[in-house]
Amino acid sequence: MRKLLLAVLGACALLLAAGAPASAVEARTAAQPAIIGGGDATETYSFMVSLDNGCGGSLVAPQWIVTAHHCGDASSGRIGSTDINYGGEVGQIDNVITDPGTDLTMMHLTQPAQSAPIALAHSNPAPGTGARLLGWGCVSWPNCQTPETLQQIDLSVLDSSACAEGGGGAGDVCISGDYAHSACHGDSGGPAIVGSSGNWTLVGETHGPGDNGGECATTTLYTGIAQYLSWIDQQIGS
């Protein structure tokens, strides 16, 4: 989250991975929004990525991860596990490409992952559509505690204009939220998905708060995947 990133960096690492040991806080200083009011993941998401810089991401092809530009660089990602420290497979990252002028970044893996990638949206879901958010960030705010187990929460898609104050455009995805149900620090770059178990589609990448002053406990702006589909496909095919 760009706006969120600036606020958090100004407050140092206290907000980024609060509730973890000091060494873990330092290791996750790039982390931005996670899940408040959700619960432990009800399934293993083969495409879910925990980057070693504290951000989330989504495996969209055997050698490609989609995440947020404001997450910065990462050297590796744990793919397809609900535990931030164990399980799944660890892929090494050798290249990072950002679509200029956007918060959308793709990270290339040195070797193809064995985990199944997620399908990409060709259009944005209509307002009122249920959407699921995934992440390992704060489960409470402002007293942040971070989990080891992947969290999920089911919320709703709003009209994109509802996140205009946070910098969202017509092609982005705005997700509902309030004080007790929201994305929060630690979830940047992670997915907003629609569908059902075994049939998920990536519709957004966590960008920042939907308003112009919130941090957590607010609507959340997701970079819309559909509007950048041709660019993503171009990188995968390159």
DSSP 125: P
pLDDT digits (tens, 9 = 90+) for 207-219: 988 886 667 768 9
Average pLDDT over residues 156-171: 95
Residue 88 has pLDDT above 50, yes or no: yes
Task: Note the helical H segments in the chain.
Answer: 2-10, 22-27, 229-237
CATH of domain 119-227: 2.40.10.10
Average pLDDT over residues 39-48: 97
Cis previous bond, 209, omega within 30: no
Could you tell me the residue ranges of all domains in the chain? Answer: 119-227
DSSP 144: -
Confidence of residue 184 (pLDDT cuts 50, 70, 90): confident
Residue 104 near residue 223, CB atoms below 8 Å: yes
DSSP 118: P
- Looking up tokens 């060494």 gives 23
Q: Cα separations (Å) of 160 from 72, 74, 176, 215?
A: 26, 30, 11, 18
What average pLDDT does the chain have? 85
Residue 10 has pLDDT above 80, yes or no: no
First to last CA, the chain: 27
pLDDT for res 183? 87
Confidence of residue 134 (pLDDT cuts 50, 70, 90): very high
Residue 47 near residue 58, CB atoms below 8 Å: yes
Amino acid in position 227: Q
Residue 106 has pLDDT above 60, yes or no: yes
pLDDT for res 213? 66
Q: Using only C-alpha atoms, what is the Rg of the chain?
A: 16
pLDDT for res 15? 30
Confidence of residue 140 (pLDDT cuts 50, 70, 90): confident
Residue 61 has pLDDT above 80, yes or no: yes
C-alpha to C-alpha distance for 35 and 147, rounded to whole angstroms = 10
Residue 30 has pLDDT above 80, yes or no: no
Half-sphere exposure of 188 (CA within 13 A, CB side): 32
Residue 67 has pLDDT above 70, yes or no: yes
Task: Compute φ and ψ for 182, nearest 5 degrees.
Answer: -170, 160
